[in-house]
């Protein structure tokens, strides 16, 4: 045993004599004695000595402790922490899928449009059973992300469990640099002659360019005579908080509350407001489409626009991922990612674990969701192939368009009666 380690454990083992007087004590030292004793037993008697180093045992204890808190808290050894820091500065090869832990299973929250995972036909709710032949059971989020990412051009093999399928499904997908437009399908919807003109924009994720792309799309639709807008956030897994605030801010006045956080520490309490901008908020009627794969930033936008009365929400209750993770480095170069706060909507509704409920419930079901994603994949096919693919009837979209047209016609009749 190293001299320092020997002194540390000798110190810990003498702690009871130092008097922690009663059972109400909440300091960590009494429990540290238990941990130290267990580590010494492993060091002394465990059959495989190569697995019984102090660092290995400490890191494994930290991994277990944090993974038991929630799916988003975890421990990163120095290699993992360095890799995370590099990922924020550089592009990487991946599949373009957002994964989460749902009911203890590694589950696809949403495949991002235009990415390898999306084109391969992965669906929200798919359970990842194996990655490159290795079981994904009990795999941490960190481990899963590390195995899914890799050099562009390399292949990853997935075994997927899907509701309604009796056997696991196999996919071999080539990694690419994930860099896709986040604002898609901006257009005026077809409608009855003389009816109000309804615009449609789909935001697939919230990245750095989203705010500018979204603002330009709205301006283009306004030039085409748009009377009302449908913003589609279905299958949007979130992204940058600042980008989500900017999107919500297109329809809210400067200084309006978008969301706030609360945690045990006063430092975790923060409020997020619409930044100052050089134009008035866009005032035409607005409908938001959401589903159970709308997560994180999507839920912040939906909650803000719902609670302020600015938008009509149509679809399904959202995913319910509204927590804040803080990364704290440790002295040896490792780090802890810890959930420190939860998001609330302006109306004081907790997002995490609850999601945002729509005004009008319009569920699609697994088959309809798969058909919708297939129709979106069709948009990326060459022209001839598009024509041979069947069209898809998007019921929630039609309900949103009908609701907006009804609102606009009612307003027009009201002005005519005056």
Active-site residue list: 296, 307, 321
Q: Which two tokens stand for residue 189?
A: 């919807």
**Pairing between strand 312-315 and 360-361?**
parallel
CB 81 within 8 A of CB 330: no
Q: Which pair of tokens denotes residue 28?
A: 């960590």
**Hunting for tokens 């719902």 — which residue is that?**
306
Q: What are phi and psi of 96, to 5 degrees?
A: 80, 35
Instruction: Select from 295, 251, 285, 254 the least CA-distant residue to 111.
Output: 295
φ/ψ (deg, to 5) at 176? -135, 165
Q: What is the b/e burial string over 47-64, where b = at least 16 CB atoms within 10 angstroms of the residue's CB?
A: eeeeebebeebebeebbe
Alpha-carbon distance of 216 to 181, in angstroms, equals: 13
Question: How far apart (Å, rounded) are the C-alpha atoms in residues 351 and 259?
Answer: 10
Rounded Cα–Cα distance for residues 366 and 65 (Å): 36
Rounded to whole angstroms, the Cα distance separating 95 from 105 reads 19
């Amino acid at each position: 045993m190293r001299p320092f380690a020997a002194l540390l454990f000798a110190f810990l083992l003498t702690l009871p004599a130092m008097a922690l007087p009663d059972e109400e004590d909440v300091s960590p030292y009494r429990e540290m004695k238990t941990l130290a004793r267990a580590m010494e037993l492993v060091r002394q008697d465990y059959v495989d000595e190569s697995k019984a180093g102090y660092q290995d045992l400490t890191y494994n204890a930290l991994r277990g402790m944090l993974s038991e808190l929630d799916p988003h808290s975890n421990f990163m050894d120095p290699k993992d922490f360095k890799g995370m820091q590099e990922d924020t500065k550089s592009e990487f090869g991946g599949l373009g899928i957002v994964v989460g832990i749902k009911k203890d299973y590694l589950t696809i929250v949403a495949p991002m449009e235009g990415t390898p995972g999306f084109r391969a036909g992965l669906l929200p709710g798919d359970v990842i059973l194996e990655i490159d032949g290795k079981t994904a059971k009990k795999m941490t989020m960190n481990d899963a992300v590390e195995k899914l990412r890799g050099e562009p051009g390399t292949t990853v093999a997935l075994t997927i469990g899907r509701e309604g399928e009796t056997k696991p499904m196999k996919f071999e997908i080539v990694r690419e640099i994930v860099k896709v437009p986040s604002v898609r399908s901006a257009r005026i919807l077809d409608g009855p002659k003389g009816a109000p003109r309804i615009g449609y924009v789909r935001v697939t994720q919230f990245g750095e360019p989203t705010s500018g792309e979204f603002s330009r799309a709205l301006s283009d639709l306004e030039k085409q005579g748009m009377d009302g807008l449908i913003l589609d956030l279905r299958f949007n897994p979130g992204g940058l908080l600042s980008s989500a605030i900017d999107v919500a801010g297109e329809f809210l006045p400067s200084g309006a509350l978008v969301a706030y956080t609360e945690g045990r520490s006063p430092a975790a309490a923060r409020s997020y407001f619409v930044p100052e901008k050089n134009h008035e908020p866009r005032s035409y009627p607005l409908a938001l489409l959401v589903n159970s794969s709308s997560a994180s930033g999507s839920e912040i936008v939906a909650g803000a626009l719902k609670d302020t009365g600015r938008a009509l929400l149509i679809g399904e209750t959202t995913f319910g991922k509204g927590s804040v993770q803080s990364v704290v480095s440790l002295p040896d170069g490792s780090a802890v990612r810890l959930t420190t706060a939860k998001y609330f909507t302006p109306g004081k509704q907790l997002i995490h674990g609850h999601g945002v409920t729509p005004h009008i419930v319009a569920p699609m079901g697994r088959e309809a969701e798969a058909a919708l994603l297939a129709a979106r994949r069709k948009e990326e096919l060459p022209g001839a192939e598009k024509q041979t693919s069947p069209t898809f009837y998007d019921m929630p979209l039609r309900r949103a368009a009908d609701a907006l047209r009804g609102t606009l016609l009612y307003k027009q009749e009201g002005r005519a009666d005056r």
